[in-house]
Structure 1
Amino acid sequence: MQVFVIGNISVDETYLINDLPQKGSSIHGAKTHQDLGGKGANQAIILSRCGINTILIAAIGNDNQGHWCKEKIEQERLTLRPNSPRDCRTDTSLILNCADGDNANITTTTAADALSINDIEQELLLSKPGDVVLQQGNFSHQKTEAIFSLARQKGLTTVFNPSPVKDTFAELLPLIDILVVNQLEAQRLGHADDILLAAHALLNAGVGQAVVTLGAEGSMLLNATGVTRVAAEPVSVKDTTGAGDTFLAVMLASSLLRQSPLTAADLHRAARASSITIGRTGTLSAFPTQIELVQILK
């Protein structure tokens, strides 16, 4: 069994600021980190550290940052495809880390946009029925839909983390086996302010299983058998960057290793792993190590 993570790679630059700037304002900040990032790369790295055979299908540019990203990926237990860089700049994420531990991100998609559906289709020739395709929200609606439609044709399990979210992603829900969203994404795609109503609307739209992360309030798993709530792990917040990616990857890895649909146990393990990320600063440098993940997944 393989997981094909189809998404993006970026260079994350983190700046510490007191609060988010208002329109037209100028503020001081301090650059604290430069790290490998991108939701696709984040999730693929953590899945591979969990012992999952992981292929990251993502584009890097033909610049120094692209070379740096490739070197970082080669230190992990995953395969990066395609082999050749695109003729563009590598994507960058600007992370504004506020004093209270929260953050806001600005991400370019130049390299991600340069990855064509034909490129992706060629890489998926190696897939087999029962393998998993995991996407985030960095592609256009049309490309995202084409990838999931292709995955369904091939008998692959589809997992969607629609972040950054687009309203049109609601049209793709019938193609999704596992949907992972935060509260705001659930409300937006489910067209309801009440989180339970929104989450049930996602299921009614055709999603097989839905997981809603609720920050300090924990998470919820919804499927045909009902709703299961799981508490968050207590942690002293240092940086929330990458916490959602950690949660998703460990939850999915736990389910795949057990060869069973998602349960509360998978969400508990994911909460433990994401608490490690939240308690550290940075992106890649904040993720749980392979040793830590092996202990969590026992």
Structure 2
Amino acid sequence: MSCLQKSHRRVAVLGSINIDIIAKSSSLPHPGETIIAENVFFSPGGKGANQAIALRRLEIDVMFSGTTGDDSFGDMARKILIKENISLDHIKTLPSLHTGLALISIDSHGENMITVSSGANSELDEVTAREIIRHLNPGDFLLLQREIPPATNIEAIRLAVEKDIRVILDPAPAPPEGISDDLLRKIFIITPNETETECLTGIRPHTQETALTAARQLRERGVSIAIVKLGAAGVCYAGPDEEGFIPPFRVTSTDSVAAGDCFNAGLASALLRDAPLPEAVRTAAACGALATTKKGGADSAPYAQEVSKLLREQ
């Protein structure tokens, strides 16, 4: 398998840019409890930046649109994007707001708790959505997440549908109000994890059967393809012509901070090569699994060669 891009089609990411402040400890704190961290480090993050960097490491030419504040964290984020060969042409600097920050706690098992301060991400507006869509053509892919204003995502999805651009939505953070059937009908692929699946469907997917039931429900409500991520238990998917299960890859996990973002980047990279759905989901699962073997957000994104090796060996 090669992750080299073999199509003139493009992938764009519209989403958040954060600097992650990550604290690792033996366990996660309970309400009212203080935990002493074993170590703390900074990492590039934000679901949008994570996806964009993961796509570049998979050798995909990605167009990324986001916002930072005019502060030291913004300087850090922009330098990281440049280092990862991502153009700043669609990155706006807003002097009135701080750059997005994520406070992340990770325990010894790789489980995490995340608190996000949106900062400049809260001003990623509908005008920006219209600008990015103007650069895309029918058949292109647009990756979205939920760390930017809902109205911006809705406008991006509406315009994408008008141009036959295929939207891949990671519904994270989980929307407490759910997602309307009208909006689901405009989404090509949705990729919830267990928590997000329960929020969207009322079904907690703890087995392959319950995951497929939830995926089918999302399809019945209008989404073309539903992919339910079960973490270390694998991935279930349901599409117009097929459904199935991808077993988990055997890796030693460190943390799962950016696993979902790398999953969607892997999915888009495979679909850009016209991979069949089962192959695309397996590629995505490999990317997500590899992301858990490294620390941090965008820093954990795997390179194309690593993904190819894991797919060959397992």
TM-score of the aligned structures, taking structure 2 as reference length? 0.88
Deviates more, 1:30-39 or 1:176-185: 30-39
Matches within 5 A, 1:131-170: 131-170=140-179
Q: 3-state DSSP class of the match of 1:181? A: coil
Q: Which region of structure 1 is more displaced relative to structure 2, 287-296 or 168-177?
A: 287-296
Contact 2:124-2:149 at 8 Å conserved across structures: no
Q: Does 1:289 align with 2:303?
A: yes
Alignment correspondent of 2:249: 233
How far, CA to CA, are the matches of 1:28 and 1:123 in structure 2?
43
CA distance in 2, matches of 1:245, 1:292: 17
Contact 2:129/2:152, CA 8 A, preserved across alignment = no
What's the TM-score once normalised by structure 1's chain length? 0.92
Q: What does 1:119-134 align with in structure 2 at a 5 Å threshold?
A: 119-134=128-143
Deviates more, 1:281-290 or 1:55-64: 281-290
Equivalent of 2:40, from 22, 32, 55? 32
> Could you tell me which residue of structure 1 aligns to residue 85 of structure 2?
77
Match of 1:280 in 2: 294
Partner of 1:267: 281
Helix, strand or coil at the partner of 1:93:
strand
Q: 2:51 aligns with which of 43, 58, 62?
A: 43
Structure 1 residue 294 displacement after superposition = 5.6
AA matched with 1:269: T
Q: 2:149 & 2:125 partners in 1: Cα distance?
A: 11
Equivalence for 1:92: 101
8 A contact 1:182–1:214 mirrored in 2 = yes
- What amino acid maps onto 1:176 in structure 2? I
CA distance in 1: counterparts of 2:157 and 2:186, whole angstroms: 6
Equivalent position amino acid for 2:193 in 1: N
Q: Name the residue aligned to 1:109.
A: 118
> What is residue 176 of structure 1 aligned with on the other side?
187
- Measured in 1, the distance between the counterparts of 2:289 and 2:304 equals 15
1:79-115 superposed Cα distances (whole Å, 9 cap, x missing partner): 2343440121000111101122211111111211112
Residue 34 of structure 1: how far off its partner (Å): 0.8
Which consecutive residues of structure 1, in runs of 5 or more, have no partner in the other structure? none
Tell me whether 1:203 sits opposite 2:219 in the alignment.
yes
Rounded to whole Å, the distance in 2 between the matches of 1:215 and 1:84 is 34
In structure 2, relative to structure 1, the CA distance for the partners of 1:179 and 1:38 (3 Å cut) is: same
Corresponding letter in the other structure for 1:242: A
Higher mean C-alpha displacement, 57-66 vs 97-106:
97-106
* Matched letter for residue 144 of structure 1: N
Match of 2:23 in 1: 15
How far did 1:204 drift? 0.5
Higher relative contact order (CA 8 A, sep 6+): 2
Aligned length: 296
Per-residue deviation at 1:127? 1.4
Q: Distance in 2 between matches of 1:28 and 1:221?
A: 40
- 2:258 matched to which residue of 1? 242
Q: For 1:159-206, what per-residue CA distance to the aligned partner results, in whole angstroms no more than 9, with x for missing partners?
A: 110100114342121110111111221222123344333221100111
Kindly provide the CA deviation profile for residues 215-254 of structure 1, in whole angstroms up to 9, marking residues without a partner as x.
1211011012242101011112211221121122112211
Query: Partner of 2:185: helix, strand, or coil?
Result: helix
